Structure formats: C-alpha cells, structure tokens
Chains A and B, each alone.
Chain A
Amino acid sequence: MIARGLLVALFSLIAAPVVSSPELAYNLEAREVAPDTWVIEGSTGNFSRDNGGNIVNVSFVITDDGVVVIDTGPSRLYGEALRRLVESKTSQPIRYVLNTHHHPDHVFGNQAFEPETLYMLETGRQRLREDGDAFSDNMYRMVGDWMRGTDVVVPPNTLQPGILDVGDHRFQILELTGHTGSDMVLLDETTGVLFASDMVFYNRALTTPQSPGLMIWAGEIARLEALPYRIVVPGHGPVVSDDSAFRQMSDYLEWLYQTMSMAASRGLSASEVMQQSIPHRFDGIEGARYELIRTTSHLYPKYEQAALELLPE
C-alpha cells in the first residue's frame, strides 16, 4: 500500500503541471443599467497577466432590429467571451460593433465579430492602422498568454458623426478629440444612456499618450456634461447616474494642467514633476501616481518649452 501510495504521489507530481495548467477565462458578467442596455464593467487596474487586460467597460444595446456592441475588449479571447455573452441575452443578431477609439483594450476583441458589422470613425480607423501593431506588441508584453491568437482588425466600415437609428433606439454619435484625437461618444436618446468611452474615466486615472492637450479635453467634458443624459457609462470605472464622473474629470484635468504649468514656470525637471504630491481629494482615483508619471512623459515637454525663452545667437 505504501509503495502504491508513493507511486500515486509520484505520478501526480509528474502529471500535476499538465492537469492544473489553468484555462484562461474572463468570466464576463453583464449588468442591465437601463432597458435593453448592458454593461460589462472591467477593473480599474492596469494591464496585467492577472486580469488579462480586462480593465475596460464594454456595453451592448439590444434593439428590436439587432444588437449594437460598443467596444470589443483587449483580446480575441475577450471578444469571443463577449460575443457568447451577447448571444446568451438575446436572439437578435449583432448588427453594429462600434470601436470608440483605437486603444487596444477597446478594439482587440474585433476578431470575434463579423467584419461587415465593425464600424469606427474615419480618423480612428487611420490611427488603428498606424499604431495597432505597436499596441499589439505592448499588449503581448504586458498581458502575455491572454493575447494568444489576437490580431489587429481595422473595422472596414466608417461611421459618420450624427444620428444612427437602429430598431427602436436612436443614437447620437459625437466625434471628440480629448483622449486620443478621435474619440467616439454615443448618446442613446431612447434611454438617456451616455456611452462616454475614454473621454470619461471615473475613479481611475485618465491616460494621455495620444491626448492633444489637457485643456482641449476639459473643454469637451463641459460639452458632454451639457448633453441630456440620465446615466453615464465611463470607459473605465463605475457607471453613474449623476454628474460626479464629469466633476471628477474636470477637477483632475484642471489639477494636471495647473501642476504642469506651475512646474514649468518654476523650471522643474520631468523627474521632479513625476514626484509632485497628489491632492487627497484624488485618493479614490486608482493609478494616479502611475499615470502622472506617464502624463509627464507625454505632455510636460510642451509646457517646458513654452516656459523657456528663445535665446538669440
């Protein structure tokens, strides 16, 4: 018996790595935030091998003439799980799959959907063509095996800003620029749900690698806030039914702007800006230090240049 026990123990030692190799799965769950309107809320963390890049909010609206999917997630695996989830909620066909902007966590699930259903703003399509492969390299580096089999798919269809009628829902499509230079925001006029995409981060620090400028972004937040919305679905962070996400965005953008301007006028170096203290009122914003370091890299050089005088020869 002892010998047999040893044999079993030995066998399981050998077999263990194969048997227990974890199957990567996102286990997506959707919440109905308004009639026919479902949101899959990601974490407010950063890309990692633990979360598979599931840090993003993805939504879908079930109309009586097909489903509108808003963003597709960070990987092929996510896209496939998303598609199964949509199909478990309705027998309506997926009519439109919209990519709000060209960042990888919003478009790398595109492979799971029929190409003819994929739509994006024209500038966004261009940017995805230009930056997609570099984003992909970076995602494989940060997220690892979750990305297996993921390829960049640029939507073949261009979506124009304006009105999009799908079944019993009417969407207003806006093209803004603050986050990436081409940011699609949708207002579902039927339900009052505003799909703000990454124009709005809530309790998660905003990211700036392609932002044309903090004050441009702040101006567009004011424009969004004036829309007749009832519910705001941010690109990252919890869904809210008041103006708290807008207020936080304006406050945070203003603080970033002031921090960069003041630092430049005092002649601070970039490393000094990265270490600036973050006000306690932003304690609830995840990733604020990490993103301040990134934002300083992206945007501070312009502020520095502007604060220096041209020295004549």
Chain B
Amino acid sequence: MTRLTMTLLLLAWAPAWAGIPVDPYSSPMWQYNIERYLGNVTSVVLDEQIRVEVPPFAENSSQVPLTVDLKDFSGTAREIVAWVDLNPIPHLFSLTPGPTPTTLLSLNFRVQQATTVRVAVLTDEGVWHLGSAYVDAAGGGCTAPSMTIANPDWEKNFGTIRGGAFSRVEGVRYKFNVMHPMDSGMVSGVPVFHIENVIMRDSVSEEPLLTMTLSESAAENPMLVFELEQQAPDAVLWMRDNNGNEFERRLGGQL
C-alpha cells in the first residue's frame, strides 16, 4: 500500500468520527455505540452538566441505580438517550421530553460486566451533549433469571403499579413502580418480555409530558422517577409491553 492510498483512506475514514471527542474512559465501544444510537454523522461534545450518577460498584448486577440530573444543563433537551457500553444490548432508554423540561430521571439497569454508562442529550442546535459514568461489577445481570421467574405467584402481582407525586421547590417529581419481570430474552427458555413504551400525559390537555422507550438493559420491576420543571394539574401514566399488555394509571392529585 502506498503512502498516498493510506492518506486517502484515512481522509475517507475521517468524516465518520470527525465530530466525536476522545472518550475519557477509553471504552472500546465508544465510537461504535455513538454511531449506533446517535447516528452516523453527529456532532458530539462531552458535557459535565449532564450528571450521570451510578454507584462506583454494582452491589446487585440486576439492579443498578442510575440517576440522570439535568438541573445544571443550560440547553434544552430535545431527546435523551442512554446506553450501557458493554451490555449485550447496550441501549437502556430513549426519552423525548414534552413542552415541560424533564430535569431529572432515574431507573435501575442491569450490568453484564464492569462498564461505562452514557447519557446523550440532543439540543435544539442539533448537538449531542454527552455525560458518562463508570460502574464496576461482578456482572451477570443480563443473563441472570429474574426474581419473578423464581416466584410461582408472580402473576398475582404482575402489573401492580404503585406511585406518588412529590413536590419540589421548582416543579414536581413523579415516582412509580410497576411489577414486571422485564425478561431480557437472554436466559435460556425465557423469551424477551418487557415494557417497551412509557408515556406520561397531562390529563387535561392530553399533551405528552414525556415519551420513553425502554430496552433489555432496564431492570426488573422498574422503579421510575421523573422530575418536571412545572407541575402538571394531573398526569396519566401509560405503558405497554412487547406482549401487548397495556397499563394506565392516574399519577397526580396526591400533592
């Protein structure tokens, strides 16, 4: 190979990752997952205002808490995408906020091994702002059978939803928990069975407050927290799993 062809090859290769900064965590999946989840030609900046909070180690690889705190973020989030770099299916969730900004969200995820976790936030300008965190783990969370499977009475609790609304200095925090095995499909003989869609609506205007899709990295019996900058008069939660089960509940009114 001549020097010229090598240079040409490099030039041809360059545009694909021209907009991607160097990964502070040097993950082997950095570029691959960015292209996979954010698209091929993207503008990405590292942004410490995207606070990604995970524990330094996973005490339980099937339930690792993640909180995404956007209170310090100066931009307006149009879309939020999260993934777990070294999981078999890295994608965790994609979330589209409604007209009221989502300032914080939290859920538990599974880890298959020690890994970086990424949260990318798309702004009006078309730039992805990316925050990262690292969690150490013995692993195996994605391929461990759910606790639900071990419980012969699981159908009794299936779809049970608990929730609450908590007032904040600015806005409101919704928290809810749904009993669902969230089977990842990675345990022999147990097909994938998990909640894919979560929508919260303002019950008066019917406008979505946020729309979320969940993937296999989300943990069993999800405990979800959403904090919105303004309080909706009354919120309705709607979810659907990949088997077509739908769940709908009123969330507001307890403040």
Contacts and interface: CB of A to CB of B under 8 A. Distances in A.
Contacts of B75: none
Contacts of A309: 162-164, 254
Nearest to B164: A308
A226 interface: no
A208 B108 CA distance: 20
B248 to A, nearest CB: 8
A311 B138 contact: no
Interface in A286-309: 293-294, 296-298, 301, 304-305, 307-309
A271 B166 contact: no
B59 A141 contact: no
Interface in B232-255: 237, 248-251, 254
Contact of A301 (B160, B223, B249, B250): B223
Nearest to A274: B55
Contacts of B138: 138, 141
Contacts of B56: 293
Interface string B141-161: 000000000000000000011
B contact patch SS: strand
A270 interface: yes
Interface string B47-68: 0000001111101100101110
A136 B163 CA distance: 39
A41 B68 CA distance: 43
Contacts of B60: 297-298
Contacts of A304: 175, 177, 223
A274 B173 contact: no
Interface string B106-117: 101000000000
Contacts of A311: 161-163, 176, 237, 249-251
Nearest to A272: B67
A93 interface: no
Given A297-B59, A304-B177, A311-B249, A269 B162 contact: no
Contact of A313 (B63, B108, B249, B251): B249
A266 interface: yes
B223 A275 contact: no
Contact of B53 (A275, A298, A301, A312): A275
A19 interface: no
B162 A274 contact: no
Interface string A258-290: 000000001101111011000000000000000
A159 to B, nearest CB: 30
Contacts of B53: 271-272, 275
A293 B56 CA distance: 9
B166 A266 contact: yes
A308 B54 contact: no
A34 B175 CA distance: 54
A294 B225 contact: no
A310 interface: yes
Nearest to B249: A311
A307 B164 contact: yes
Contact of B162 (A138, A141, A298, A310): A310
Contacts of A293: 55-57, 59
Find the residue from A270, A304, A311 having the highest chain B CB count within 10 A. A311
Interface in A105-160: 138, 141
B106 A271 contact: yes
Interface residues of A, number: 26
B254 A297 contact: no
A296 B66 CA distance: 13
A101 B237 CA distance: 45
Given A275-B53, A298-B59, A308 B67 contact: no
A282 to B, nearest CB: 19
Find the residue from A269, A274, A312 having the highest chain B CB count within 10 A. A269
A297 B63 contact: yes
Contacts of B63: 297, 301
Find the residue from A271, A293, A301 having the highest chain B CB count within 10 A. A271
B223 to A, nearest CB: 6
A275 B55 CA distance: 9
Contacts of A313: 248-249
Contact of B163 (A294, A296, A308): A308
Contacts of A138: 138
Interface in B160-185: 160-164, 166, 173, 175-177
Contacts of B251: 311
Contacts of A305: 162, 177
11 contacts: A141-B138, A270-B106, A271-B55, A271-B65, A272-B53, A294-B59, A297-B59, A304-B175, A308-B177, A309-B163, A313-B248
Interface of A: 138, 141, 209, 266-267, 269-272, 274-275, 293-294, 296-298, 301, 304-305, 307-313
Interface of B: 53-57, 59-60, 63, 65-67, 106, 108, 138, 160-164, 166, 173, 175-177, 223, 225, 237, 248-251, 254
Across the A-B interface, give the 10 residue pairs with the lowest CB-CB distance, nearest first: A267-B166, A269-B106, A270-B65, A308-B162, A297-B59, A271-B67, A311-B249, A271-B65, A271-B53, A267-B175
